[in-house]
Amino acid sequence: MNINIKYFLMAWFCLLQGNILFGQTTFKNPIISGMNPDPTICRVGNDYYLVTSTFEYFPGLPIYHSKDLVNWKLIGHVLSRPSNCPLIGAYAGTGGNYAPTIRYDKGTFYVTCTNYGGQGSQGAFYVTATNPAGPWSEPHWVDNWGVDPSLLFANDSIYYVYPDDKNNFLLATVNTNTGKFHKTPKIIAKGTGAASQEGPHLYKIGAYYYLMSAEGGTGMEHMEVIQRSSSPWGPYQVSPTNPVITHKNDASNPFQAIGHADLVQLPDDSWWLVCLGYRLRGGNYHHLGRETFLAPVTWDANGWPKGGTNGIVKEEISVPNLTPFPWPKDSVRDSFSSSALNLNWNFIRNPHDADWSLTEKAGFLSLKGSKISFKEKDSPAFVGRRQAAFNMVASTKLGFEPTANNEEAGLVVRGDDINHYDLLVTQLAGKRVVMLKKYLQDKVNSLSYLEIPNGDIILRVSATDLEYKFWAQTEGKSAILLGTAATKDLSTELIGGFTGTYIGMYASGNGSTNKNPAYFDWFDYEENPSVPYAWSLGSKETMNDMLSPEIISATSSSFNQAKLVWKKVGNADYYIVQRYSANKFDSIGTTLVGDTTFTETGLTGSTLYTYRIIAKNTIGYSQPSLTTSVWTLHSPGPFFDTPSAISGKIEAENYDYGDMKDSWNDTEKDNKGEKYRTDGVDISSCWDTGGGYALGWIENGEWLVYTVDVNDTLVNLEIRVLTWWNSGAHVKFELDGSLVAETDIAHTSGVWKTYTLNNVKLSKGKNKKLKVIFDKGGFDFNWMNFVKVTQTGIHNVTLEDGISVYPNPTSHTVNIKSANFKYNHIEIHSIEGIRVYSKATTYTPENMLHISLPKGQYILSLSNQDDKKVVKLAFE
């Protein structure tokens, strides 16, 4: 061989292998970007395999292959058939398949997981394969509903560990031929003290069994902890150096929610972990989902592990002691020339075979829009892939001729079923248009559109970490920017759930089948382009040398008005404002000379209005601007348009619709918690029992109004509150301007507690105004509950949770019995509210009280910091 050619090939090979000659010394996190949460890993010889959660997406549980722990290649999916991946009916963002574990034993790979919420799902299961790329077996359904299961092969046994909902970890051994437990699962350990124990993994390392798990919930408090025992059945000792990893005390770190980890040992006996985390942008928002990170593990002299650098996962880390093995990069363009879809593509839930094809038209992906849209918990004609970088461009060439207003096809950036950005070709008033529709919180938030000729069109979405831009280009024309959208509006912080953004191709008839298929010629996806895409707008079509106006914003500050602001057109004298109604645009007003704002009044609350602007001078008119839309605020009145009933429970966040100083008063104009509602009241997610939302950042003098129908005039008012410090808070309740109750709120030490205001008298009537006044703030407010009081003053409430109180009536002995007793305090009150008995108790299945009381009616209450139950009790 020619020596020059030989050296050239050697150099090329080294370059391909990651500059081995020059020495790759570091790598950057995350190692697998985009939505890849709950990573689990196993090693087989010199190969490493990793699986992550997919929730409602199909096929489920991607499996990645690596030889160096840094570079990963998608080689298949564990759940690739509807029969082993039932998803129809699964809730977006929370249902489906999550928290898997992959393990290997004696030539067989095992993946155990939980399928939740899909039709036919049965909870926990495991599947097997001899080749990790598949095929994988049908599910072996394990006979329990424990989430986040994990396996350990040791001592010629298969150990199965999972958490329950009571802070416990349970262990059993499994017969893999039947999927059944050899014996009833046994509690072996508890969590180490934080909330939301999940994702346990059990390891046998040396003389110990290590139980590692996640705590704190998948948010800023997330962390990984560990404990150990000399027996898999316990007892377990908690590590004195916990947590293994966490960023909960490092709020400025760009990586957050670090946790849910799995360990792997390398041939050189070093240890590493993979874990999930997310990257915040634009404040405390993440929209790419939870991603997979890698960090080294060190063990102290006492045998306790610590991940990363003192528990912190760094962005840049020294590579493992393995030969670098990079994989070839994926092609930017998918030309749909294969008989099967690329592994990067996913469907929403289980696809319907009739909705898509790679063979109907050679070299095209055809999507036949069915009656299914994103609104159903079903599978619309959608083929998408993870958005795996903040800076990226996705585009497609589409051929689609809609025949009715309901038919649409194009590109979609999807957060979940009720939050997505749609760049679609559709029909409007008999015209073919390309439309940008922002669908947020289950309604159209805004839309803009442009009439287009028949023929193919290129649709493109470009993204930065803060903003999406949406473009359309027809043959022979410059690309046109239809609009922009904020990435944070698809973030987990604003839409909830556990998934990240997907970008894909979509078609739907929204209730009926499209008459024509949508043909996608190709799809390009490029991350971090070296030369950012900057579409030249070219010269827009003009009339009389006037450019079309460009609308800057459309906003609504009240239920009955909308305000438009646009850029000035150089030689315009004034502007004509048009609003879309009855399939056409009608002029609703003109501006004064030079004015570039317009406010329309007399509108209807909670209604979408669509506008466009035309510039005018003495010669003629410009072409209309792109359309823009705005929702008016809801009309003043009761939340959900129905008064709350008393007796009954009222969530604090469901105060009346209306403006500040009308339905609410807050010291600041913005919602600090940025959840649930868009006015100035501070609302955040609530970690109290039952979840939901709560009011926070309550300050002196703030208040809220609730429209109520008072059906019961004598009630006990329960309020659920939390204080972080001893603030001396005070709250008052007024009904139609009259004070009916008030109370001080003592320090609750950062836990939720229920205060009860007994025998509150109310005036009966419909559409009455209940005003809650926070005289002294400094607390959080979850809900208020009005409990009817009988004429004798006794709660008319029966006990739940299978609790028995007997005998009743009694003379001197009261037995309280339950197999699941969760209360730690017992009290008895007279009907006048005087406490006559109080006792702290343990969580024992039976309590016997020896007490003598005068004949009469009493109230027995059982309580803990989260709950309270009461029952009538008679002494005779």
Cα separation of 787 and 760, whole Å? 10
Can you read off the two tokens belonging to residue 417? 């079923």
Q: Determine contact, residues 493/218, Cβ cutoff 8 Å.
A: no
Handedness of CA 850, 851, 852, 858 (dihedral sign): negative
Judge contact between 576 and 614, C-beta under 8 A: yes
Structure token pair of residue 627: 């359309």
Task: Give the helix/strand (H/E) hosting 820.
Answer: none
Kind plus residue range of the DSSP H or E element containing 797: none
Separation between Cα atoms, residue 111 and residue 64, nearest integer Å: 13
Give 633's contacts (C-beta < 8 A, 6+ positions apart): 556, 557, 558, 559, 605, 606, 657
Tokens found for residue 115: 């399928």
DSSP state of 812: S
Any catalytic annotation for residue 38? yes
Residue 611 pairs with which residues in a beta bridge?
Answer: 579, 628
The 8-class DSSP code of residue 789 comes to: B
Copy the structure tokens of residue 382: 């959608």
Q: Is the dihedral of CA 196, 202, 205, 206 positive or negative?
A: positive
| Sign of the CA dihedral running 433, 434, 438, 442 | positive
Q: Are 504 and 382 in contact (CB under 8 A)?
A: yes
Is residue 201 packed enough to be buried (19+ CB in 10 Å), middle (13-18) or exposed (0-12)?
A: buried
Rounded Cα distance between 719 and 868, Å, is 12
Query: Which one of 56, 68, 148, 198 is the catalytic residue?
Result: 198
Catalytic residue (choose from 38, 68, 355, 780)? 38
Give the C-alpha separation, 542 to 549, whole Å: 11
Helix (H) or strand (E) holding 497: none
548 burial type by CB count under 10 A (0-12 exposed, 13-18 middle, 19+ buried): buried
The residue behind tokens 């159209």 is 444
Write the DSSP string, 623-647: PPPPPEEEEPPPPSBSGGGSPEEES
User: Roughly how many angstroms between the first and final C-alpha of the chain, as a whole number?
Assistant: 109
Q: Is 130 helix (H, G, I), strand (E, B) or coil?
A: coil
Q: Which residues, in sequence order, are CB contacts of 12 under 8 Å at separation 6+?
A: none
Q: Which structure tokens are listed for 672?
A: 């600090």
CA distances (Å), 753 to each of 452, 735, 749, in order? 60, 24, 10
Beta strand spans in 686-812 (E)? 693-695, 702-710, 714-722, 729-735, 738-745, 753-761, 765-776, 780-788, 804-806
What is the pairing mode between strands 255-265 and 271-279? antiparallel
**Cα–Cα distances in angstroms (integers) from residue 657 to residues 209, 494, 678, in the given order:** 56, 20, 11
198 noted as active-site residue: yes
Judged by DSSP in three states, 524 sits in strand
Which secondary-structure segment (H or E) carries 779?
Answer: none
Catalytically active residues are 38, 198
